[in-house]
Structure 1
Amino acid sequence: MYKISTSEKKILVDTLTPVSIYLKIRDKYSNSLLLESSDYGVNDNSYAYICFNPIAEIYIENNFIIKSLPDGSKEKIEINKNVNVVNEIDKFFKLFKCKKNDKKFINNGVFGYMNYDSVKHFEDIDLNSKENDIEIPEIYYAFYSNIIVINAFNNQAILFHHSFSKPTNLEVIFDYINSNNSTKYPFLKSGNLNSNMNDQEFIDLVKKGIKHCDRGDVFQIVLSRRFFQKFKGDEFNLYRALRSVNPSPYLFYFDYGSYKIFGSSPEAQLVVKDNKAEIHPIAGTFIRTGDDEKDAIKAKKLSEDIKENSEHMMLVDLARNDLSRNGNNVKVEKDREIQFYSHVIHLVSKVTAIKKNNSSTFQIAADTFPAGTLSGAPKHRAMQLISEYENCNRSFYGGAIGFMDFEGNFNHAIIIRSFLSKNHELIFQAGAGVVSKSSPENELQEIYNKLGALNKALEMAEKI
């Protein structure tokens, strides 16, 4: 076990923003990350996090679990039928002994992601490996020495330094934050937008999904399409544009050096706070018009739409089943609430459970992964069909990204409305929920509706 000492420093940041602070930090520290929320009016969501200087990490790559520890040691475990991946991740979390957190926000723990294909480590399912797979770790979590927590509610920030053996660096960080230096570069698209299939090929894919729904193999299947855009310059400008055109509860920019994952997700994968687990299924989508009165009429139509409501309730039932595996007292606390986003209107519910005493938080995360809104129902069969029919592994798309502290609190977004950047290429993806009554042309349009904010951000980023 590693005993971690923590020092902290409170500062006033009324003339700064999370973005401006991050720009200063990233110039000094590679592999840094930014996690924000547009729900700053709600006190619980008024915190932004900037993390850098990792002192320990765990990741899965090429069928190995690799653990890098604060004393410089490494452990490499080959995954086979005798290795329980969830247990190995839990063991990593338990290696660190930190001072109990007495704050309302997270100030220790791990930040990172798990991609969609990592479900094969949690469930007995085979996913077909495709030749054009994106080469990034399937799971990556790091314990960061430095965390800056910014409270947008009162314009204060707390600088944290977690250390196994090194002296505090808070004064150095304070000087960086107060410096006038931060480097900005332009962003430019290069070449045309490409996709892994054309419109007709996606329509044909949807027709296959409808046949499986008609046969009773699945009630719903979420089929997706990938897009590619080459670029030059700084993709952080694209993140800045995206957070402007599509403000969302989850805004994130995770820089891993050779690749970056960033986005503006409306949907939580899983939230666990004080042993209470929550899933917020989002399913049922209408496009916004830009006119508030017309949008109100469309919202009423959405709430009464038989197809959209039946699709939504399937996913609520799936969330209840997933939470019941390691949770008690499962209930639906909110049922099909209308919520407005920048380009779409969604139906949103809230399903909760109390974590069982002998269950770990990460086990619940594994139980509920991936989100039913990204796979379909029944989940296992839907994922098999997705693997059979989609011509590329999903990788980051449909995964989960966020944090988990050492006391079992967990908050991850589903990686949707998001980009992966690697080798000067942006990769992004969107899916449509297919049921028996689906119209292939309407499901194609849903793809473009969901990509509306991303395409608008691509245009705006070139003007920053």
Structure 2
Amino acid sequence: MQRTSHKIQVSNISEFKTQLLQWAQQFKTAVWLDSNNYQQKYSNFDAVLAVDAFSKIETNYTNAFQQLKDYQSTNNDYLFGYLGYDLKNDVEKLTSSNFDNLHFADLFFFQPKKIFFINQNTVEIKYLTEFKSEIETDLKEIKSVKSQKSKKEAPIKIKLRIHKDAYYQKLDSILNHIHRGDIYEANFCQEFYSENSTINPIETYQNLNTISKPPFATFLKLNDKFLLSASPERYLKKDGDSVICQPIKGTEKRASSKKEDLKLIAELEQNPKERAENIMIVDLVRNDLSRFAIKGTVKVNELCKVYTFEQVHQLISTVSCKVKKDTHPVDILKNTFPMGSMTGAPKISAMKIIEELEETKRGLYSGAVGYFTPKGDFDFNVIIRSILYNASKKYVSYSVGGAITAQSIPEKEYEECLLKAKAMKYVLLNTN
């Protein structure tokens, strides 16, 4: 499919972004990705909006990667969508039988009729050519959008799927597996949820984004289902023959003073338990990349570097490799999915154990949202620090997790979960 490109300059880009996202709500399918101008090496644009599906693929995990491969190969266009965590069952002989009240498909991608790429004050509009006549009308509509506050919804009551005592028991079980040598590390997650609840997705997302300002923010709308994400983590990016992965492992709270914040950064950099978490996953990522990388090209560009966000400090490592030109982009994703930072090591054993101990099907949580380009490049985030909402079922959910290693202390792991959940909880209790 051919696309028509049209560029405009916008004087107030912040206002335009707000109007653009509000305008997008009329469509059944919309994906908004925003870097919040976070300083990072590997960014292609500041934000992008893709709306209105011309074609799509939506499926459960059975043979999902092959279906995606066929879809991407046939279209060779911009494709936006997500990979749900339970695609693990397509990659390995695994199952998912935990409770699910969100009901996202395991995989969804669409070819948008209309795309807006934002770089500083430049907006590049790429419409499928047969819809190019709508560009001017759409721009007038977008610029005339007025911000509007919705009516207040009933207060939300947030419940825990796993209560504290049960959480401690489950962590003891994971530690027993580690001491027996079954695994070295497992990422164990728990769900917080609200039933019979109505939220305003756009306002909730905007408030979450305002207090978090993450580099991989996402607003995703699929009919009655929404993802409102403040993710700080990149899963995988392909740019030409280069592939990079940036796992996060290691967390420290922010302090109120600059001096105390610097002290916490220094402590996180040297913390043996947090570094061990990160290094184990780096080894796993190196192993995953070596499945398709050109021999001798897998390298660690950054090891356990502290990145600071609005809510927390994180240890992030960057691992890269080179690939042959004929390596299919979907094969790269399949060989690394699910991401090591959300599973553990060894990966398959860890996935079996966390499936047994977790109470909720992860679904879109700890999956990835992103896009393919017409050249077969891609960029995907990790779905963490996110609110998931099924409007038809009036069900709101957010999950948090942490890496459990031999040095883990259950009380401290629980505190870390609450720290990661803080922004989502605050926004849900104060927006609606």
The TM-score normalised by the length of structure 1 is 0.87
| CA distance in structure 1 between the partners assigned to 2:423 and 2:5 by the alignment | 38
**What SS is found at the alignment partner of 1:94?**
helix
Aligned ranges 1:231-310 → 2 under 5 Å: 231-310=197-276
What is the aligned counterpart of 2:411 among 441, 449, 452?
Answer: 441
Tell whether the 8 Å contact from 1:112 to 1:402 is kept in structure 2 after alignment.
yes
User: How many Å apart are 1:237 and its aligned residue?
Assistant: 0.7
Q: What is the CA deviation profile of residues 407-445 of structure 1, one whole-angstrom value per residue up to 9, with x for unaligned ones?
A: 121111100000111133211000011111210111111
User: How many Å apart are 1:32 and its aligned residue?
Assistant: 2.0
User: How many Å apart are 1:345 and its aligned residue?
Assistant: 1.4
**What SS is found at the alignment partner of 1:443?**
helix
What is the aligned counterpart of 1:381 among 335, 344, 349?
Answer: 349
Tell whether the 8 Å contact from 2:84 to 2:365 is kept in structure 1 after alignment.
yes
Tell whether the 8 Å contact from 2:89 to 2:96 is kept in structure 1 after alignment.
no
| CA distance in structure 1 between the partners assigned to 2:344 and 2:117 by the alignment | 36
Give 1:318's aligned residue. Answer: 284
2:84 corresponds to 1:115: yes
What is the aligned counterpart of 1:215 among 169, 172, 180?
Answer: 180
Q: What is the CA deviation profile of residues 264-303 of structure 1, one whole-angstrom value per residue up to 9, with x for unaligned ones?
A: 1011110111121101111111112222211211211112
What is the aligned counterpart of 1:87 among 59, 66, 86?
Answer: 66
* Greater fraction of residues in strand: 1
User: How many Å apart are 1:150 and its aligned residue?
Assistant: 1.9
Aligned ranges 1:64-83 → 2 under 5 Å: 79=62
Give 2:6's aligned residue. Answer: 9
User: How many Å apart are 1:458 and its aligned residue?
Assistant: 2.4
User: How many Å apart are 1:233 and its aligned residue?
Assistant: 4.3
Tell whether the 8 Å contact from 1:241 to 1:460 is kept in structure 2 after alignment.
no
Give 1:196's aligned residue. Answer: 161
User: How many Å apart are 1:188 and its aligned residue?
Assistant: 3.5
| CA distance in structure 2 between the partners assigned to 1:325 and 1:189 by the alignment | 51
| CA distance in structure 2 between the partners assigned to 1:128 and 1:87 by the alignment | 20
Give 1:347's aligned residue. Answer: 315
| CA distance in structure 1 between the partners assigned to 2:11 and 2:39 by the alignment | 16
What is the aligned counterpart of 2:125 among 139, 159, 173?
Answer: 159
| CA distance in structure 1 between the partners assigned to 2:55 and 2:100 by the alignment | 30
> Residues 40, 10 of structure 1: CA spacing in aligned structure 2 closer, same or farther, 3 A cutoff?
farther
**What SS is found at the alignment partner of 1:169?**
helix
Tell whether the 8 Å contact from 1:303 to 1:347 is kept in structure 2 after alignment.
yes
Give 1:26's aligned residue. Answer: 25
> Residues 300, 40 of structure 1: CA spacing in aligned structure 2 closer, same or farther, 3 A cutoff?
closer
Q: What is the CA deviation profile of residues 299-358 of structure 1, one whole-angstrom value per residue up to 9, with x for unaligned ones?
A: 111121111111111011011001111112100011111111122111111000112333
| CA distance in structure 2 between the partners assigned to 1:431 and 1:39 by the alignment | 27
Q: What is the CA deviation profile of residues 143-189 of structure 1, one whole-angstrom value per residue up to 9, with x for unaligned ones?
A: 001001122x2x121222114x5563212212212224565424535
* Greater fraction of residues in helix: 2
How many percent identity over aligned positions? 24
| CA distance in structure 2 between the partners assigned to 1:216 and 1:234 by the alignment | 46
| CA distance in structure 2 between the partners assigned to 1:407 and 1:312 by the alignment | 32
Give 2:56's aligned residue. Answer: 57
User: How many Å apart are 1:130 and its aligned residue?
Assistant: 2.6
| CA distance in structure 2 between the partners assigned to 1:432 and 1:166 by the alignment | 46
> Residues 303, 42 of structure 1: CA spacing in aligned structure 2 closer, same or farther, 3 A cutoff?
closer
> Residues 187, 47 of structure 1: CA spacing in aligned structure 2 closer, same or farther, 3 A cutoff?
farther
**What SS is found at the alignment partner of 1:95?**
helix
Give 2:35's aligned residue. Answer: 37
Q: Structure 2 unaligned runs (5+)? A: none
User: How many Å apart are 1:45 and its aligned residue?
Assistant: 5.1
Q: What is the CA deviation profile of residues 208-239 of structure 1, one whole-angstrom value per residue up to 9, with x for unaligned ones?
A: 11111111000001111101125334121111
| CA distance in structure 1 between the partners assigned to 2:78 and 2:280 by the alignment | 34
Q: What is the CA deviation profile of residues 111-166 of structure 1, one whole-angstrom value per residue up to 9, with x for unaligned ones?
A: 11011111111x22222413445322100000001001122x2x121222114x55
| CA distance in structure 1 between the partners assigned to 2:292 and 2:152 by the alignment | 46
> Residues 96, 294 of structure 1: CA spacing in aligned structure 2 closer, same or farther, 3 A cutoff?
same
Tell whether the 8 Å contact from 2:64 to 2:87 is kept in structure 1 after alignment.
no
Tell whether the 8 Å contact from 1:272 to 1:278 is kept in structure 2 after alignment.
yes
User: How many Å apart are 1:56 and its aligned residue?
Assistant: 0.7
**What SS is found at the alignment partner of 1:407?**
coil
| CA distance in structure 2 between the partners assigned to 1:42 and 1:304 by the alignment | 23
2:114 corresponds to 1:139: no
Give 1:391's aligned residue. Answer: 359
**What SS is found at the alignment partner of 1:365?**
helix
Give 2:170's aligned residue. Answer: 205
- Residue type at the aligned position of 2:211: V
| CA distance in structure 1 between the partners assigned to 2:409 and 2:322 by the alignment | 39
User: How many Å apart are 1:18 and its aligned residue?
Assistant: 1.3
Tell whether the 8 Å contact from 2:178 to 2:406 is kept in structure 1 after alignment.
yes
- Residue type at the aligned position of 1:387: E
- Residue type at the aligned position of 1:416: I
Tell whether the 8 Å contact from 1:37 to 1:45 is kept in structure 2 after alignment.
no
Matched pairs, number: 424
- Residue type at the aligned position of 2:139: F
**What SS is found at the alignment partner of 2:5?**
strand
> Residues 200, 146 of structure 1: CA spacing in aligned structure 2 closer, same or farther, 3 A cutoff?
same
> Residues 33, 183 of structure 1: CA spacing in aligned structure 2 closer, same or farther, 3 A cutoff?
farther
Give 2:137's aligned residue. Answer: 172
